[in-house]
Amino acid sequence: MEHREEDVRLGANKYSERQAIGIAAQSQDKDYKEPPPAPLFEPGELMSWSFYRAGIAEFVATFLFLYITVLTVMGVSKSDSKCSTVGIQGIAWAFGGMIFALVYCTAGISGGHINPAVTFGLFLARKLSLTRAVFYMVMQCLGAICGAGVVKAFGKTLYQTKGGGANVVNVGYTNGDGLGAEIIGTFVLVYTVFSATDAKRSARDSHVPILAPLPIGFAVFLVHLATIPITGTGINPARSLGAAVIYNNEHAWNDHWIFWVGPFIGAALAALYHQVVIRAIPFKSK
């Protein structure tokens, strides 16, 4: 106890008073090592069980995601009175809540992507190899198709007459409106993914603990609130593909390109913004 006063004085003088919150800990940046970019091709992954385990985790997570969310959409669609259902807010919570739960469950196995746009953005940032990115996307799409298929099995007539949870540009909006909504919505999601999982931020701002799945799930919830009236909210090509394949309607297929092009553009912009503007990685000395 006799050294307590000295310890307090040293602690108080460790950082200058005018430093903004979160800046003081940046002195720890010297201890942070930027991880090397993932190789474009990594054939050795194909011999690893962890590689296939991660793909299976992506399949199961996307299956469960489509099962819960499309079933929620069907429950709202079949009711004549929306007051007796969870409504648009409930649909948004179903999507956001499932992403929160599933990212939490699978983050330690596959990274918890559950979305080809997220995988694409992380690939562009060199966070994973092309081998793994393609494998993830295939497994995500297969999982989504199976998830929507199970929902249809519960009631084929209801599924076909109420839209099957498929994404289309709604009446009153143009394809350009839908594309813009998908680009911006996916940008919000992927930018949140980058920020919530930034290892350097975790090291620098260790005094501000964060549970990464929470802001990611919340971003999905908010984007759905904003864009369900426009496109039903895709921001996930696997989710859109799964519902489109099982619903198999001409209108859904005519608009389907929007739910691939929009999310991939949004993901690319988010990756570019985070890596170039926020992290300024291209400008750092080797």
Could you read off the pLDDT of 216-247 as tens digits, one per residue? 999 999 999 999 999 999 999 999 999 999 99
For residue 175, pLDDT beyond 80: yes
Domain containing 260: what range? 44-278
Mean pLDDT along residues 57-75: 96
Rounded to an integer, the average pLDDT of 154-177 is: 93
Model pLDDT, residue 120: 98
What b-and-e string marks burial along 153-165, b requiring 16 or more CB atoms within 10 Å of the CB?
eeeeeebeebbbb
Reported as a single tens digit per residue, the pLDDT across 103-127 is: 999 999 999 999 999 999 999 999 9
Q: Could you tell me the CATH number of the domain that includes residue 118?
A: 1.20.1080.10
Q: Tally the domains of the chain.
A: 1
Q: What pTM was estimated for this model as a whole?
A: 0.85
pLDDT, position 42: 83
1 in any annotated domain: no
- Would you say residue 69 has pLDDT above 70? yes
Report if residue 128 sits inside a domain. Answer: yes
Residue 20 lies in a domain: no
Is 26 among the domain residues? no
Q: How many residues does the chain have?
A: 286
**How confident is the model over 71-87, as pLDDT tens digits?**
999 988 877 766 677 88
| Residue 219 covered by a domain | yes
The answer to whether 122 and 128 are in contact (CB under 8 A) is: yes
Q: Which distant-in-sequence residues (6+ apart) come within 8 Å of 227 by Cβ?
A: 181, 182, 185, 233, 235
32 in a domain, yes or no? no
Q: Residue 22: its pLDDT value, please?
A: 33
28 in a domain, yes or no? no
